[in-house]
Structure formats: structure tokens, C-alpha cells
A = this chain, B = another copy of it.
Amino acid sequence: MTHRIALIPGDGIGKEVMPSAVRCLDALARRPGLDFELTDFPYSCEYYARHGAMMPDDGIDQLRPHDAILLGAVGYPGVPDHVSLWGLLLPIRREFGQYVNLRPVRLLRGLTSALRDRGPEDLNYLVIRENNEGEYSDIGGRLYDGLPEAMAIQANVITRKGSERILDYAFRTAQSRPRQTLAYATKSNGIKHSMPFWDEQVAAMAPRYPDVAVEQYHVDILAANLVTHPDWFDVIVGTNLFGDILSDLGPATAGGIGVAPSANINPDPAIPSMFEPVHGSAPDIAGQDIANPIAMIWTVVMMLEDLKEYDAARDLMGALETVTGEGKVLTRDLGGTAGTVEFTDRLLAELE
């Protein structure tokens, strides 16, 4: 089986962790019956500097015929976010309808939690983030700009369709796991229109999943509980912004942002999903071979699972946790001295 993968290394450390991913895929492709057709796409801030856009006009169409998109990171100082992100990352998520953003939080063997007395048994949950609407809508504008009376208005848009599809995904995921609980983030005690509507969608769906226990948390308390009671959580679902915040906070308690993977999923197999580490392009540490490739490699594991290559996914994850578990070859952010390449060498030796 040949999987067509679009590679977008992007900027900064994206270009350093992508080779780690490619080396893993190359190693796995030596197995009988598994192959990858890898195509490089240079869409990035560098591309923008040359062409005045993050990707060509038909960029989305060029990506469409792939089975998956693997992205490193985008962003470079001097290129405003509204160019680098709204010109590449966010359009890919939206135009391919990747409405599920999956962000597992799990303390890998051998890593130390930033939380006192917490180990792998306490830190193992999945944040499911709505990825297409909500607080990230393009709707809004300004009045009296430049005058003392100036104001900006931003609309959050929560649709029933958009909520139902992400909640349905979250309920099904919770149902398939041993604990069968679904925590959802809201803020309906303070935010009057969008959040009560979101709560109603949860309440309306719950009876269809009678075996799933639903727990409501206001986002402020939920953030606090991820620190004081991480063991309470199994599956957490949140709107675009709340999912964003909780899925950066979670990894901070479980080895740091250098290990956190993510998947932007459209469950329709005919449309490519996108896989990217949670971390950014980190220009401050780029080019020094010190970036941690774990987030990217774990992201590859998520991609392999989505491609139904379960054996390859399991073996790559197994190799990764063997290496972290030994604790001998780790990058600086985890207290080690290894470079990006050295860590990847060790991982590939283990995988083979």
C-alpha cells in the first residue's frame, strides 16, 4: 500500500524536525507491503518572501490529492501572523474541513512531569478541539479606528452543525475508552450567547451515548484542575480557543511542548488530514540542531494510525518510548545533551 504524503517543513525548527519524520517513514517503508510517496511543498515564510504569498493560489488544490499532510511549523519574525498563519495553517484546517483537532496528553516513559508527585499513571488524557469555527471566526471589524472612541468587535460563531460533528466525535471517542467519561469545557456562567448554546448541544447529544458520563467544567476551573487533578480526565472536548489553551497547558505538565503531537482530522478518508507538532517554528533555537523531534515523531505515529497502518504506528511509538524510557539520549529541553539528529539516530537504531 502506497500512501501519498504531502510534506510541508515550513520554517525554523520545522525544517529540522521534518527530516527526522522522513527518516522514520523511510525506515518503515523498508517493510513489505508499506510504502510512502513523499512530496515536498516549500510553503513557508521563505516562500512568502520570494512570492508574496505563503502558498500559490492553487496551493490547496495541489495538496488535495494526498492521503495526508505532514507539517513542521510555520512562522518567522518579521512576517506577521496574519500572513503566515491565516495564509497557510488556518486555510488548510478550514478548506479541508479538518474539524477535529486531536491532542493527546500523556507522559512518555522516562520523562518527568512539571507537577509534583505525578507520573505516567496520572497524565493520560486526550484533548479534542473544535478546529474550524467558534472564536476563530473571520467575522468582525472596527468602528472609529484611530479615534478615542475606537472599538473592535469580534464575532464567535458556534453552529449546531459544527458543534454536533465535533461533539459526536468526542462522545464516540469517550465511549471507546475504558473510562467512558467526557469532560467538556465551557464558560456559560460568564459568556452569555455562545456558551449556553454550546452547552445545549452537549445536553442534546448526551442521551444518544448513555454509557458516557458527561462532566461540565468552566474553562477556568478546568485549567486549574489540569494542574491539581490531571488524573480526573480522560477525554476533554472544547471549542477552538478553549481547546487551544487546554492543549498547550496539558503538555506543559507532561514533558513540555517539545513532545506534544497533534492531528487535524477530517474523518472523510477522501479528504487529507493534516498532522503537525503543537510547537511552533521557534526561531530562537532554529538552526542549532537542538530542537526536540519527539513531537514530530509522535505526530507521525498519529498519521500512521489515521492511515490505518497500526503495526507501523505501534512499532514507532514503542521505539520512541524505549528511547525516552532509557533516558540516555534526550534533547536539552528534557535535561539531556543530544541534538535533533543524534536523537533520531538512536530512535532509528531502536526501530530496526
Using a CB–CB distance below 8 Å, which chain A residues touch chain B?
Answer: 75, 81-82, 85-86, 90, 112-117, 135-142, 144, 147-161, 187-198, 219-221, 223-225, 227-228, 240-241, 244-245, 247-249, 251-253, 256-257
Contact = CB atoms under 8 A, between A and B. Distances in A.
A154 B193 contact: yes
Copies in the complex: 2
A75 to B, nearest CB: 8
A201 to B, nearest CB: 9
A113 B114 contact: no
Contact of A249 (B142, B161, B188, B249): B249
A134 to B, nearest CB: 9
Given A160-B149, A192-B86, A114 B228 contact: yes
SS class of chain A's interface: helix, strand, loop or mixed? mixed
A251 B228 CA distance: 10
Contacts of A150: 159-160, 197
A245 to B, nearest CB: 5
Contacts of A82: 192, 196
A257 B220 CA distance: 11
A40 to B, nearest CB: 25
B151 A157 contact: yes
